[in-house]
Amino acid sequence: MPKHIRRLLLLFAVLITLFIIVRQVLIPDSFGQFGHYRGLALEENKAHVARYVGTDICAECHWETMELKTADMHAEISCETCHGPGWKHIEEPEQGQLTIPEGREFCGTCHSRNPARSASLIAQVNLSDHNIETNCSECHNPHAPWN
């Protein structure tokens, strides 16, 4: 057998052995317990600290904002959809910073014109020609956009 074929076979054998070793290390023991799933996945997910606190917790301190929001079209949207997880803010109100959405791109995530979205459910604008020099929040209060 030629030398280059032996070297190639040796290389394949090393790579296959390395693959098997890495696979054994990386695949959890509970994988395959319920078909092609990790058996302990639910328990592992339960062990994670809850990061989202819910709109009711926000309303305890920010009731004025909630009054505006609940009377408008964003009433069904959780505060944390735009402001991010609130758990740090709850633990340390002065230190735990929330996201303050800025820029047209942020609002455009939901409100840019998109044929796949129902225009009757979500107000859509063409960001390339709708007040292009201003941020959305300069004209629209996101907690009560039509007030």
Structural domain contains residue 50:
no
**Residue 119: which domain range?**
55-139
On whether residue 90 sits in a domain, the answer given is: yes
Does residue 75 fall inside a structural domain?
yes
For the entire predicted model, the pTM comes to 0.57
Per the domain annotation, does 106 fall within a domain?
A: yes
pLDDT tens for residues 105-144?
888 888 888 888 887 888 888 888 888 888 888 888 887 7
Q: Is residue 104 in some structural domain?
A: yes
State how many domains the chain has: 1
pLDDT for 34-72, tens place per residue?
888 888 988 888 887 768 888 899 889 888 888 888 888
Q: Is 112 exposed, middle or buried (0-12, 13-18, 19+ CB in 10 A)?
A: middle
Q: Is 133 a member of any domain? A: yes
Q: Does some domain include residue 144? A: no
The per-residue pLDDT for range 88-113, each reduced to its tens digit, is 888 888 876 788 888 888 888 888 88
Q: Does residue 82 form part of some domain?
A: yes
